Structure 1
Amino acid sequence: MVFMDIIAEIRRRHLVSKESISSIARDLKLSRPTVRKHLRSQSEPAYRRQKQPTPMLGTFQATLESWLQTERLLPKAQRRTARRLFEGLQAEGYRGAYDSVQRFVQRWKAAKPGPALTQAYVPLAFAPGEVCQFDWSHEHVELNGVMQTVKVAHFRLAFSRQMFVVAYPRETQEMVFDAHNRAFAFFGGVPQRMVYDNLKAVVDTIFTGKERLFNRRFMVLANHYLFEPVACTPASGWEKGQVENQVGNVREWLFTPLARFASFEALNTWLATRCRELAERKHPLTPERSIAACFIDERPALRPITAPFDGYVEHMLRVSSTCLVVLDRNRYSVPAEFAGRAVSLRCTAAEIRVVADGAMIAQHARRFGRDQLICDPWHYLPILERKPGALRNGVPFREWELPLAIQLVRDHILKQPKGDRAFVELLMMAREVGLEPLQVACELVLDGNVVTASVVMNEMRRLLAPTQPMALSVPDMLKLQREPLADCARYDHLRGASRVLH
């Protein structure tokens, strides 16, 4: 390819230095017609590719053009590429080359450009404490040595640009509630408005324009914190552009390279620390100040938090005959007296609470994954009164991590006649007073030579017996001046009197 510097050299050597065309052509290894052509030109040469004939495609052009015309009206993700169109033509009998199809598609699209207009936006300004934007993103982390895709909740105050991010295993509504509690605690207050996508946890129905039917339980959250929820127009991410940009930046700042932590708690603690550190960057509108400094100005405009929101999602379930309720394919135990009854299961991001008759009857740490069994052995203790044999093979009791002294005593007692029932009696007593007295009693019994349930029971009763009252100090005025003496001869006198009466 001949560039403008070569053309300039040719013209300079011939027109200024009066060098011959043959000499220039020989020196630059060009043909003399090429040298003459560039002597006549003063602009950069343009090379035009000749239109190549497509004899094999000719009979299929109408089919290809009809496909392009039909797919032009579809979303971009649903349109076929030139390669897929080529494969479709092959199924119709086309035996030509792929290049012919590719060039035809390019020319057709160039002749019919879509409505690709440059978007124009209006600069926005926000008052302190006025708006906070919310969004989700999916990130890859390593937790306890296992690669996982976590869901990250993003918050961003529009005035100060202060951000807050927190990670969860899912995007369910209880995670949204917990994320709001954490974000408002991090910010130290609540903004006037919260801007969202039309996610299911927030919006139930989308009407024309900005009108929305918000989720009933989500509105309880909004009423608790007294903020106004605002839902964006569908496919209009620019309405919350700050948090949209934050998603890409956070992926680069916090999750590249791969983040590795032992648990979600450790990950979220680190994310909160990094949010504070990143706030030391310059504010985009006032570069002379940091985001942290602007956040200090915005914090007084946030509404104070009176109490955190109890962000649970409620499910009505029936307890199985094995005293279990099922949530997300994981089973949680319930006290045995509620077997077969309907209960309310209130799940949050971190725990499961089972409620019946207005009172909480069970509480478990929430588990994620599938087919896990979470049992509290105390829930099954009433069943052991009727079926003490279940103590040996019952799953809740086999996995029960008791103190070592209690385990040793249990192993001794279970080897004795009717040991199952005897140890159940010890557990029934421990349910009323706690495991600590039972543990101390077992330690005392193990120091001796006899290990039986009755000895352990006796030790527990001694430990739980009320303490003797302290000796009272009697004032001198109440003390006896002359204490009476015991005289057993008085009884002999009474015996003599009885003989007289007979």
Structure 2
Amino acid sequence: NGCYTQVFKGENQECFLEGMKRIFEHIKCVPYKIWFDNLSAAVIIGKNRERNLVEQFERFALHYGFEINFCNPNSGHEKGNVENKVGYVRRNMFVPIPQFDNIDEYNRELLKLGDLDMQRPHYKKGETIAKLLEEEKRFMFKLPEKEFEVCRIKTAIADKYGKVEFETNIYSTSPAYSGEEVILKITADKVIVMNKQFKKLVIHDRIYGKNKESMKWHPYLEVMAKRPNAIKYTRFFNELPDIWKNYIDSQDIEGKKRSLKALMKMIEGDNTEGLINATKAIGETLNNGVSDIDSIIATYYRIKNVGNAAINEINLKDNVPKVKEYKPDISVYDSLYKKEVSAI
């Protein structure tokens, strides 16, 4: 009568399988038999009401070894406990409406809440639900040695701007792949763009919505740096903080090139966090009366690495002679005075 809960931004197959995978890994075993509703992420109902397993779901089940069973359509009474559990979870875990900054951290917290909830006694058997679950685990399968990677692979053709479409949404790649075929690796929360050699080009957060766009500017800045005077007509330039727009505008052509290349390094890997730190860096540098791009870069790396600097112990080789500690004798300076004075 226990349960574990995970939250996702969508109801697609990747979210469905990722949720089960996390629960399996949390309890460190796999039930030998699982009952499912007739959800589209797992099964396709044919014209004659026959069930056809979705390929990825079938591979998932074969990997973990559990037996698949489906409830009859429109038969909620067959899983009454599950239907009631949905309401129980809503009332006990999602009231008041939770607020969080990181969905992965919150999902880990939900697994812990599931463990805590199972400390209550079973309504019929008298033992705690947690103890009953531990007894059930003796009959479950062990986790496979190799991890199952929950993802979908598909190809896409980039348009003349190097952008691809997936589920009505647009994701950037690189101008170098304009008109080329790329490979998309889609997970529950990421869209990873790769070339034909499966080398990662760009990693996007997966968009949940319709007709939206995710833009990673780093691959495009290299092209912009070759024609710096044209940057002010781009969406990237218009989205920059005013302090960066004014700085780039104030530079000559070579200065614009250096500024764009520097900005490209700062936002590499993370547009949002990189631009935040880059903006702090240029603001602090200009406030100190310095405006060259090298000083801005130095300030950026200081801000980025604050708290991460580590001084490692230096291990000398055995053949390096030991040097005795030198203690200076400052009493000799007393002779310069008429009388002895205490050292400061």
Q: Relative to structure 1, is the Cα distance of residues 398 and 185 closer, same or farther in structure 2, using a 3 angstrom cutoff?
A: farther
1:277-322 deviation per Cα after TM superposition (whole angstroms, max 9, x unaligned): 32122224421x1101111222343323234432123343222223
Match for 1:216: what amino acid?
A: E
The whole-number CA distance in structure 1 between the counterparts of 2:10 and 2:290 is 55
Please say if 1:280 is aligned against 2:115: no
SS at match of 1:310: coil
Q: Relative to structure 1, is the Cα distance of residues 247 and 457 closer, same or farther in structure 2, using a 3 angstrom cutoff?
A: closer
1:214 shift after superposition = 0.6
The farther-off stretch of 359-368 and 230-239 is 230-239
The whole-number CA distance in structure 2 between the counterparts of 1:184 and 1:212 is 25
Aligned residue among 42, 45, 53 for 1:214: 53
The whole-number CA distance in structure 1 between the counterparts of 2:256 and 2:160 is 23
SS at match of 1:179: helix
1:355 shift after superposition = 2.1
1:426 shift after superposition = 4.2
* Equivalent position of 2:131 in the other structure: 293
1:388 shift after superposition = 1.8
Match for 1:339: what amino acid?
A: S
1:373 shift after superposition = 3.1
Give the 5 Å matches for 1:85-484: 161-206=1-46, 212-255=51-94, 257-262=95-100, 265=103, 268-269=107-108, 271-287=110-126, 289-305=127-143, 306-357=145-196, 358-399=198-239, 411-412=246-247, 414-418=249-253, 419-427=255-263, 451-452=291-292
1:349 shift after superposition = 1.7
The whole-number CA distance in structure 2 between the counterparts of 1:426 and 1:254 is 46
1:203 shift after superposition = 0.8
Percent identity over the alignment is 25
TM-score by length of 1: 0.49
1:390 shift after superposition = 3.7
Aligned length: 294
Is the CA contact 2:191–2:203 (under 8 Å) kept in the aligned structure 1?
yes
The whole-number CA distance in structure 2 between the counterparts of 1:413 and 1:245 is 60
1:237-268 deviation per Cα after TM superposition (whole angstroms, max 9, x unaligned): 4444432332243344444x552424572764
Match for 1:233: what amino acid?
A: N
Is the CA contact 1:168–1:264 (under 8 Å) kept in the aligned structure 2?
no
- Ranges in structure 2 where 5+ consecutive residues have no aligned partner: 300-318, 321-344
Is the CA contact 2:10–2:208 (under 8 Å) kept in the aligned structure 1?
no
SS at match of 1:367: coil
1:161-211 deviation per Cα after TM superposition (whole angstroms, max 9, x unaligned): 3311222232111111111122212322111122112211111245879x6
Match for 1:330: what amino acid?
A: N
1:134-156 deviation per Cα after TM superposition (whole angstroms, max 9, x unaligned): xxxxxxxxxxxxxxxxxxxxxxx
TM-score by length of 2: 0.69
Q: Relative to structure 1, is the Cα distance of residues 446 and 207 closer, same or farther in structure 2, using a 3 angstrom cutoff?
A: closer
1:380 shift after superposition = 0.4
- Ranges in structure 1 where 5+ consecutive residues have no aligned partner: 1-160, 461-473, 476-502
Is the CA contact 1:351–1:366 (under 8 Å) kept in the aligned structure 2?
yes
With CA pairs under 8 Å and 6+ residues apart, which has the higher RCO, 1 or 2?
2
Greater Cα radius of gyration, structure 1 or 2: 1
Q: Relative to structure 1, is the Cα distance of residues 449 and 343 closer, same or farther in structure 2, using a 3 angstrom cutoff?
A: same
Match for 1:424: what amino acid?
A: L
